[in-house]
């Protein structure tokens, strides 16, 4: 909802973020190593448009893992077949 000044409230932003993230049903925790750049390049070549079809959340360089979000289940399966050794156990 917009307030009387046509600006978004924090609740509006929170709902938009939640809706956006819910559009990516497949999430993969990946070991945060130098190979993450290779995975990013692979996703650019194989998973469609970044931030529309997939995105990689890197967080801090000190985080032990990054999270890849993929929208298309077929591309998720292809990712799993290609990069399974890089995944962290849940």
- Overall average pLDDT of the 61-90 stretch: 90
Quick check: is 11 in a domain? no
- Overall average pLDDT of the 31-42 stretch: 92
Angle (CA) 37 56 47, round 5°: 85
Distance CA 89, CA 2 (A): 41
Q: Which residue has the tokens 């931030």?
A: 51
Quick check: is 9 in a domain? no
Quick check: is 7 in a domain? no
Quick check: is 64 in a domain? yes
Check whether 3 has a pLDDT greater than 70. no
Q: Is the distance from CB of 68 to CB of 83 less than 8 angstroms?
A: no
Quick check: is 80 in a domain? yes
Quick check: is 79 in a domain? yes
Write the pLDDT tens digit of every residue in 46-66: 999 999 999 999 988 899 999
Alpha carbon distance, N-terminus to C-terminus of the chain:
36
- Domain interval for residue 66: 24-86
Check whether 40 has a pLDDT greater than 90. yes
In the chain, the number of structural domains is: 1
The percent of residues in the chain predicted with pLDDT above 70, rounded, is 92
């Amino acid at each position: 909802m917009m307030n009387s000044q046509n600006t978004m409230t924090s609740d509006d932003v929170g709902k938009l973020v939640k809706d956006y993230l819910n559009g990516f049903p497949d999430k993969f925790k990946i070991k945060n190593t130098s190979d993450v750049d290779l995975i990013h390049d692979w996703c650019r070549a194989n998973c469609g448009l970044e931030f529309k079809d997939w995105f990689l959340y890197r967080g801090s360089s000190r985080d032990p893992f990054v999270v890849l979000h993929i929208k298309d289940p077929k591309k998720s399966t292809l990712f799993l077949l290609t990069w399974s050794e890089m995944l962290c156990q849940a």
